[in-house]
Amino acid sequence: MTPTRFAISRDKLPALVQAMPKAELHMHIEGSLEPELIFALAQRNGVALSYPSVEALRAAYAFTDLQSFLDIYYAGASVLLKEQDFHDMAWAYLLKAKADNVVHTEMFFDPQTHTDRGVPFEVVIKGLKSACDRAKTELGVSASLIMCFLRHLSEEAAFKTLEEALPFRQHFIGVGLDSSERGHPPEKFARVFAKCKELGLHLVAHAGEEGPPAYIISALDVLNVERIDHGVRCVEDPALVQRLARQGTALTVCPLSNIKLCVFKKMEDHNLKTLLQHGLKATVNSDDPAYFGGYMNQNFLATFADLDLDADDAYTLARNSFEASFVDAQTKAGWIAQLDATFARFA
């Protein structure tokens, strides 16, 4: 057990969570499209939606598993056609990140969701990148992009996407693997990830959200990923838990997502506290905040309320988010110093 370091009472936790600087390492930018923006973009672009109103769309957000969510999530993304649409979507998220004191975010995007509808890769990445640049200058928020391959598609399709992305190599820092996990093991993408490693890209993959611990092991051993997205099912394999703890592999955990997608029945059953007790480098993230009921601080607050987490856990989670981020050591140290100063003010 980690010794208690901060004598900060529980009633101060909401203010502490708000005030502490933090990094977000697992969010899909297409999952930040709020129903209001979906309807506004549909109207702007003349796209027909199968829901009559914002309220009707929001009412459809009752998911039973990952696939039931993905079906609606891909339909929502159909309103994105122009560079400005991608910019507006990312900017709306970055304003929310700023409000939650997220000082650094590594945003996933799914190019195949757009290129398969005829939207050029260039349109997607330029719109997103201009929002990232604007966040730096106007908000002081550092934002970078991680390109995800859709795992329900083929490795060949992933290679094609990588080829389209290469002229924009300087606009993204890494690649990830998302979409339907069951039946699509990491090893399906072994060659494309090997190529991305050669290109010097950072590597991450969703594993152990709905899929078994074996998928986490193959993400590590076959894909050579640096972080595991979700990874909550690692607890089913004690040897894997020991390995993740020993290696200091970060898990980008998404509590509200896990409840909405029925990975856990209710927040009291979530294993975030257990992961921390095992010494795992867990972080808190919002995944698809517009669909799962909350951005970063709402994820922290919901988790803290139901899992008996305290100020020490808040510190560990925020510190982990910086340590696991893909920035240089000096930048990490600067943010950790800001985190320390925040906790010193509250103590």
What is the nearest approach in angstroms of ligand ADE to the Cβ of residue 66?
A: 6
What is the nearest approach in angstroms of Zn ion to the Cβ of residue 80?
A: 18
118 by DSSP, 3-state: which? Answer: coil
* Count of residues in the chain: 347
Taking residues 176 to 205 in sequence order and writing x for each that binds ligand ADE by CB under 6 A, - otherwise, the string is: --xx--------------------------
What is the nearest approach in angstroms of ligand ADE to the Cβ of residue 198?
A: 25
What is the nearest approach in angstroms of ligand ADE to the Cβ of residue 110?
A: 7
What is the nearest approach in angstroms of ligand ADE to the Cβ of residue 148?
A: 7
Q: Considering only residues 220 through 259, tell me which ones interact with ligand ADE, judged by CB under 6 A.
A: 257
Partner touching 218 among ligand ADE, Zn ion, none, CB below 5 to 8 Å by kind: none
Q: Using CB under 5 A, which of 77, 287, 294, 343 touches Zn ion?
A: 287
Clarify whether 164 is annotated catalytic: no
Q: 83, 106, 209, 210: which is the annotated catalytic residue?
A: 209
209 by DSSP, 3-state: which? Answer: coil
CA distance 57 to 67: 17
Q: Is 181 in the site for Zn ion (CB under 5 A)?
A: no
Q: Is 30 in the site for Zn ion (CB under 5 A)?
A: no
How many residues bind to Zn ion according to rule CB under 5 A?
1
CA distance 304 to 104: 22
Q: Considering only residues 151 through 180, tell me which ones interact with ligand ADE, judged by CB under 6 A.
A: 178-179
3-state helix, strand, coil in the chain (%, to 5): 60, 15, 30
Query: What are the DSSP calls for 37-75, one per residue?
Result: HHHHHHHHHT---SSSSHHHHHHT---SSHHHHHHHHHH
Please give the single-letter amino acid code of residue 118. G
In this structure, the number of other CB atoms found within 10 A of the CB of residue 46 comes to 8
Q: Is 209 in the site for ligand ADE (CB under 6 A)?
A: yes
Strand partners, 230: 207
User: Among candidates 181, 252, 175, 189, which has minimal Cα distance to 212?
Assistant: 181
Q: Using CB under 6 A, which of 83, 85, 106, 287 touches ligand ADE?
A: 287
The DSSP 8-state label assigned to residue 207 in this structure reads E
204 by DSSP, 3-state: which? Answer: strand
Q: Considering the complex, state which of residue 287 and residue 313 has its C-beta at the smaller distance from Zn ion.
A: 287
Binding site for Zn ion (CB under 5 A): 287
Applying CB under 6 A, which residues contact ligand ADE? Answer: 28, 31, 66, 73, 178-179, 206, 209, 257, 287-288
Active site residues per annotation: 209
